[in-house]
Structure 1
Amino acid sequence: MGSYTPKPNDAALELTMPATREFLGGDLLAQSLAALGCKVAFGLHGGHLDAFLIGCDDAKIELIDTRHETVAVQAAEGYAKVTSSVGVCFVTANSGFSNGLPGLATAFADRSPIFCITSSPPLRDAETNCLQGFHDQVVLAKPITKFAHRVTNVEEIPRLVAHAWRTAIAGAPGPVLLDCPIDVLFSPPRMDGIAWGAINRPLPYPPGPAAEAIQEAVELWSQAKRPVIITGTGARGTKFAEDLLKLVETTNTPVFYSPKYGSTVPYGHRLRGGPAVRLALLGTINEQPPDLVILLGARSGFLLGGRNGAILPNTNCKFIHVEVDGSEIGRSHQIDCGIISTSQNFVGSMLSALQEKKVSSSDVWVNTATSLKDLKNQFDDEPEEMSPGRPHPHHAIRKVLQSLPEGAIVCIDGGEAGGWTLQNIEHSRASLVMVTTGYLGFLGNGWGYSLGAAVADRSRLVVNMQGDGSAGFHLAELDTYARFGPKILTVISNNYAWGMSQAGQELIYGEKTPKRQASKLNPRAEYETVAAGLQCASARVDKVSDIPVAVEKLVNSGKPGLLNLIISDKPIHSNTKAMVNAEVGKDWIVIPYYDNIQRPYYKQ
């Protein structure tokens, strides 16, 4: 195996030349990705991609092949979330690409920097009804990516790869796609004609806050008596976490996290507030809401209570919003200080500014805010077993989370199962929590997120929390888990129903309505048997008292594991009741999962 060193004025890469075959476009693609930091790629095989897949071996890129393309794209998304880098995936032409579209859609909505490689028929065969050549993949991908392009010249690969990579992480992150036709990937490049672009140049510096904005933020912070920070997906990274801890300790400010991504403050720290949804409980203990909310890399929207004022107050509260995407600032709430910056640069600038002016909230407020995560739950006093003889979901899921080793990564999927998990999530003592359904409410994402997270951080246990509804989307990925052996424990909260769908119908139409349309699942499904057949460790539990032993056994099995956790479909989760909001008078029209609207009346 040799190498090709470009002439000095090329300012390019030193390429590795295969020892027994010709250097092709697929090699150039793989080595260009490796030069930018790609170490692993998730995907599913297709012959169109073979030149690239073989090239990944020389480029030292590990390939993780899944059982479905959607999962591959979502695994790249999970990988990106944990590493704060770009996640790479590959899907084959047309059929594979079409299966990957849901992953691109969620990555675009949730602003995940992923790089998707696909291929297509030879350029000469356009519009000939050739194999896997019907859809124009670039046209289809453009609405749900930041950048989508077809490579038509093999020598242009490095330049386009570098451009796409930078686009994925610039400003608001998001997915990019390169369509590399099979003839381009299987063609040898003219070595002296390669367009290197910025392939070997450092990535650009991220945006930082204006000096005037920092001074305004300091003033707002110094005037606040009840400030809180809410972190989101944009607030991550090891260096960021260290600096944020300095900032919150300097200002004595409690930190909450959006359910999409949390938390950067260690479990057990006195300033850790827990999930931001807990702020809605201040009124129940007769305490005032925050008078300053600092949204740090977190977007407003339904994950933070929408516009109902429960989490983000509608009155008597100031807002500082730190975002890389200026269009998000003021999208749904009046913002008093909008700052276009990465969370890292904002925190660093604030630490410098606070050397000149002291800002600190009272210990009384800190104790009030952080006590919310420890408040007694309305379900705590209910029996562990519900009719018809199945465990109460609150007690069962809490016991699972309590049984996990500290420092796990927890990926939350499902509807009501996700609600019960998030409600009890602080009991997991997790290092990172991700609600994988995101802004699209996309069930099944947890399978890919968990795989990507487990590959990104192989030292930690990843817990794939599923409902029996969401679990059905990609159950075959247990085979992927078994083949690659990541430290993943899948927990299926099995209540034999699409829980939120069934509960919503009951709330709107009444408990005595005989039919539950399209909301029932198979009570005889043996998920533990499927897992065992796919060579994973597995167990079935239908008593709360048996959970700790089962979890410990699965975690220590040396294999990916699955727990079929049988639970009751009662009671209805309080979040579902709040979202459906069916208990209104006759003057209102119930709009499930959104704000109700007033019934129109017309004078006769």
Structure 2
Amino acid sequence: MGSYAPTVSDDALRLKMPEAREFLGGDLLAQSIAALGCDVAFGLHGGHLDAFLTGCSDANIRLIDTRHETVAVQAAEGYAKISGKVGVCFVTANSGFSNGLPGLATAFADRSPIFCITSSPPLRDAETNCLQGFHDQVVLAKPITKFAHRVTNVEEIPRIVSYAWRTAVAGAPGPVLIDFPIDILFSPPRLESIAWGAINRPLPYAPAPAPEAVDEALQLWTQAKRPVLLTGTGARGKDFANQFLKLAEMTNTPVFYSSKYGSVIPYGHKLRGGPASRLALLPMIKEQSPDLMILLGARTGFLLGGRSGAILPNSGCKFIQVDTDGGEIGKSHAIDCGIVSSSQQFVHAMLSAISRTNNFASSEAWIQTASSLKDIPGAADNEPEELNSGRLHPVHAYRELFKSLPAGAIVCIDGGEVGQWSLELLEHSRASLAMVATGYLGFLGNGWGYALGAAVAEPSKLVLNLHGDGSAGFHLQELDTYARFSLNILTVIGNNYAWGMSQAGQDLLYGETVSARQASKLSPHAEYETVAAGLQCASARVDKIADIRGAVDNLLKAGKPGLLNLIVSDKPIHAVTKSMLNVDVGKNWIVVPYYDNIPRPHYEI
């Protein structure tokens, strides 16, 4: 084999050399990610990373330092969801890395492209019980990342960084983690020996559908009388909304969105169906379910009703599923036409194919039925604004909150019961985009980082960071981060003095007895608004419906991040929570909270 001798070529970066110090591995890392499009990174300082952090300053990369590493990784994820770019974060060796693992876990489950930078002790100190050197970070990260690697040669930094970055966005996106030992970051590279890899070349084109797949999808679509487009996190991207709207209009297809990410259809448009959960109302109004569903960047699973048939019909409906991961297609539902493609490329291909036909069977009556689902009143709409506890009914409180927001905000929802009520009322917010932060892991506390990343990605938009008092407690200290960076974030805590979904589940299973409520109560005396004021945020406490709009207006006029402590009742229990418990099934079933019940091995007669 011949020898490998890297040379300076068109692939090389035009490196910026510091004027008053030596050029180090940390500089090479910073300039490598800058070349790939990074202009902001979220993290928490650690001395292992100083060479990189200093390099970020010279590379014009903005650093947003958080109060906890978990939030830093989740902020990178929130940034990626809003910006459409790779989110970058940094966590220091071992202790910081361990705090960042929850963020990697959620990003991996929810397929978010993030690039996580960590460090470790010098390579020579391996297995010496040195400071922050106990865990092998690459081994720990591998199960919850698409790629994890330790760089052991400073000249290889650009090549490895480029490969990891491309891995984060290729196919089903996800997190990657690179460990740069401190001696690698503080060592000067031999410039003539740098391995550039593909650092200075464009990213590959996204996958597009096969021509025969487009023909098959078109045939199914033209035959459908009640088609539905259902979008998820994968249905996004530059200029995507306009092309997608054109596709929906040309096919007369109503559009619904997964709770993970929505929506791309303007408010007031006749094809806007609202949250996918509203499809479960069709049998209640004695209307037929869809006969064709096009899942566009939307995965099946509990966020779409699982295998219950409530949202995705178990019979009488054909499915087209479009995903960048072929293994995801047909994972839990039989799919009639599976297409491995990005959502953008699928839309482009379908628009081209549809221009050759105008023969769609969808009727105006179906469009009207589907789009009316979002306007059907909820079961609790006629209940009083205040309940016996003297606290606000959550349905009225959250509706008024959403109506008080300026149109076009970004809404980020975190929590259990607060999440269920909010999703039901989300259309009242007129948000430009909404995300449920808990994701497939049901991970509480994500909203703090998601809101942070969203606010950095879209500084001109208000970000609503909505929590229950349970999820609020995970990272309340990030109010300090919001204030230090003057972020346009309004945090609202729906405060019902309990872990609402946990308490509701215990009440349904065991009855409303104090002894049965184990580890589900929270303090009625917590003054979140006082904490917020101490962290230099505007704040208010509200326990009357009539005061919500004025409080929101005042907080938004304060010119700094705000927090509203919104006092709500822990009753009634939301219908979705009741359905997830499904306790009224008779003696021959074992109730399995939040999953499908199972039959007893020995039936009682």
How far does the alpha carbon of each residue in 1:480-529 deviate from its partner, in whole angstroms, 9 at most, with x for none?
A: 00100110000000000000000000001112464310000010000000
Q: Is the 8 A contact 1:225 1:291 kept in 2?
A: yes
Output the CA distance in 2 between the equivalents of 1:319 and 1:120.
48
Output the CA distance in 1 between the equivalents of 2:7 and 2:332.
54
Deviates more, 1:498-507 or 1:235-244: 235-244
Q: Which residue of 2 aligns with 1:524?
A: 525
Q: Which residue of 2 aligns with 1:412?
A: 413
Output the CA distance in 2 between the equivalents of 1:378 and 1:9.
67
Identity of aligned residues (%): 75
1:557: how far off? 1.1
Q: Which residue of 2 aligns with 1:336?
A: 336
- Per the alignment, in what secondary structure is the counterpart of residue 63 of structure 2? strand
The two structures have a TM-score, normalised by structure 1, of 0.98
Q: Is the 8 A contact 2:304 2:311 kept in 1?
A: yes
Output the CA distance in 2 between the equivalents of 1:208 and 1:39.
29
Output the CA distance in 2 between the equivalents of 1:317 and 1:539.
49
Q: Is the 8 A contact 2:466 2:491 kept in 1?
A: yes
Q: Is the 8 A contact 1:43 1:90 kept in 2?
A: yes
Q: Is the 8 A contact 1:267 1:431 kept in 2?
A: no
- Per the alignment, in what secondary structure is the counterpart of residue 183 of structure 1? helix
- Structure 2 counterpart of 1:554, one-letter code: L
1:10: how far off? 5.4
Q: 1:475 to 1:488 in 2, by over 3 A?
A: same
1:212: how far off? 0.1
Q: Which residue of 1 aligns with 2:221?
A: 221
Q: Which residue of 1 aligns with 2:132?
A: 132
Output the CA distance in 2 between the equivalents of 1:563 and 1:42.
26
- Per the alignment, in what secondary structure is the counterpart of residue 159 of structure 2? helix
Q: Which residue of 2 aligns with 1:173?
A: 173
1:453: how far off? 0.3
- Structure 2 counterpart of 1:38, one-letter code: C
Output the CA distance in 2 between the equivalents of 1:277 and 1:27.
48
1:392: how far off? 0.4
Q: Is the 8 A contact 1:111 1:174 kept in 2?
A: yes
How far does the alpha carbon of each residue in 1:77-129 deviate from its partner, in whole angstroms, 9 at most, with x for none?
A: 00000011100000000000000000000000000000000000000000000
Q: Is 1:394 the equivalent of 2:390?
A: no
Match runs of 1:441-452 below 5 Å? 441-452=442-453
1:555: how far off? 1.3
Q: Is the 8 A contact 1:138 1:150 kept in 2?
A: yes
- Per the alignment, in what secondary structure is the counterpart of residue 310 of structure 2? coil
Q: Is the 8 A contact 2:418 2:468 kept in 1?
A: yes
Match runs of 1:16-27 below 5 Å? 16-27=16-27
Q: Is 1:590 the equivalent of 2:591?
A: yes
Output the CA distance in 2 between the equivalents of 1:603 and 1:302.
31
Match runs of 1:43-442 below 5 Å? 43-360=43-360, 361-442=362-443
Output the CA distance in 2 between the equivalents of 1:186 and 1:394.
56
Q: Which residue of 2 aligns with 1:459?
A: 460
Q: Which residue of 2 aligns with 1:3?
A: none
Gaps of 5+ in 1: 1-5
How far does the alpha carbon of each residue in 1:111-148 deviate from its partner, in whole angstroms, 9 at most, with x for none?
A: 00000000000000000000000000000000000000
The two structures have a TM-score, normalised by structure 2, of 0.98
Q: Is the 8 A contact 2:11 2:198 kept in 1?
A: no
- Per the alignment, in what secondary structure is the counterpart of residue 587 of structure 2? coil
1:185: how far off? 0.1
Q: Is the 8 A contact 2:11 2:199 kept in 1?
A: no
- Structure 2 counterpart of 1:559, one-letter code: K
Count matched residues: 599
Q: Which residue of 1 aligns with 2:474?
A: 473
Q: Which residue of 2 aligns with 1:542?
A: 543
Output the CA distance in 1 between the equivalents of 2:270 and 2:59.
46
What RMSD, in angstroms, separates the aligned Cα atoms of the two structures? 1.1
How far does the alpha carbon of each residue in 1:10-46 deviate from its partner, in whole angstroms, 9 at most, with x for none?
A: 5311000001000000000000000000010000000
List 4+ stretches of structure 1 deviating above 2 A: 6-11, 511-515
Output the CA distance in 2 between the equivalents of 1:256 and 1:48.
47
- Structure 1 counterpart of 2:250, one-letter code: T
Gaps of 5+ in 2: 1-5
1:9: how far off? 2.9
